[in-house]
Amino acid sequence: MALDKSQCFVVILLLNSDNSMHAPRLMQHNLNEVLEHLGLSASEGQVFTYLLESGRAERISTISKNTKVNRTTLYGILKTLSKRGLVSSVEDGGILTYRSIQPHLLVDYIERSRERLSSDIERVRDIVPVIEQVRKTGGKAYPAIQYFDGVEGLKQAYEDTIRNNSSKVIYGFTGTDTVLSEKSIDMDWIEYYIARRKKAGVEFLDIATASKNEPHWIKARDSKDFRLTKVLPPGFDFDIELAIYENKILIASFAKEHPLAVLIEDEKVAKTMKELFRYIDSTLSA
């Protein structure tokens, strides 16, 4: 529940608007973003926003008509929103109707959710060392393979290259044009990741493909990005990025239609990939 002050401010502005149906698009977008951070799906956010703006107790048929969500799906959404404490139900003339919480209570709801999340983070921090120890002593070790789906999954996978990298070195193979052109991950996040990696003292030793559009882009940034890059001759191309560190190999695809990452944890595989990196690196000029 990482909601910053600016997001809470947007919520307050929206909720105090005389007519949120006419609120600026940017503010509506920010409310949707906040609801997404609260864990609501797009449909749940749509239904909740409608009830929030309505301010009335609405029948299922009316909610369905205005949100374009079919009644069968709507029952499940309203049940979820009710469990979260965002929506309440009341009988009106023998017919069940639904109403959202009062607008000012949404900010209180966010604050409570953030407090619960902070408490959960501390609990997980206490549990993780125990789980790691159980995994290490649990019997024969097999290569561990994890899949990370979508943009957020890709970001989570890259986080491991910083958090769990006591060697402070990443050996990488980068398909330069793929990273630059696919744009499945925005440049702001890439800059954020590089800044965090640099701050953590994790150096990136990279073998990159030559960019057709920006031939000097990646090497020109080496000093700034705490990276040492050697560029492959033109004609060698690949569409992924590999990051080898500790006993792990991260395979990342930035394909716009389906970004994903695969993380393999195995000592022998990682060692082989590092030796392959060193051999190719030795054949390239600085």
Q: Residue 253's beta-bridge partner residues?
A: 240, 260
pLDDT at 140: 57
Closest CA to 252 of 244, 238, 262, 266: 262
Reduced to 3 states (helix: H, G, I; strand: E, B; else coil), residue 249 is strand
pLDDT at 16 over 50: no
| Res. 255 pLDDT band, cuts 50 70 90 | confident
Q: What is the pLDDT of residues 178-191, one digit of tens each?
A: 777 767 787 888 89
Give yes or no: residues 156 and 247 share one domain.
yes
Q: Tell me the pLDDT tens digit for each residue of 22-76.
A: 444 444 556 777 888 788 888 998 999 899 888 889 999 999 999 999 999 999 9
Are 95 and 225 in a shared domain? Answer: no
Compute how many other C-beta atoms are within 10 angstroms of the C-beta atom of residue 286.
8
> Is pLDDT of 13 > 80?
no
Do 92 and 204 lie in one domain? The reply is no
Rounding to the nearest 10 degrees, give the CA dihedral for residues 139, 141, 147, 148: 80
How many folded domains does the chain comprise? 2
CATH code of residue 278: 3.30.870.10
> What gap in Å lies between CA 243 and CA 29, rounded to an integer?
35
Q: Are 88 and 52 in contact (CB under 8 A)?
A: no
Rounded to the nearest 5°, which phi and psi values hold at 140? Answer: -60, 135
Cα–Cα nearest to 68, from 40, 53, 47: 47
- pLDDT tens-digit readout, 150-175: 989 999 999 999 999 999 999 999 99
Q: Which of 240, 239, 243 is nearest to 263 (CA)?
A: 243
Are residues 91 and 206 both part of a single domain? no
Instruction: Specify the amino acid at residue 134.
Output: V
Amino acid at 52: L
Say what the pLDDT of residue 224 is. Answer: 92
Return the CATH number at 9: 1.10.10.10
Highest mean pLDDT among 182-196, 203-217, 228-242: 228-242
Mean pLDDT within 106-119 = 84
Please say which residue of 54, 84, 109 terminates a domain.
109
Alpha-carbon 140 to chain mean position: 33
Q: For residue 119, is it within any domain?
A: no
In a domain, 118, yes or no: no
Order across the sheet with 260-265: list the strands.
144-149, 260-265, 248-253, 240-245, 169-174, 203-208, 227-231
Q: Which domain range does residue 204 map to?
A: 143-283
What's the per-residue H, E or C state across 186-224?
CHHHHHHHHHHHHHCCCEEEEEECCCCCCCCHHHHCHHH
Structure tokens given for 286: 């600085």
The residue with greater pLDDT, 142 or 181, is: 181
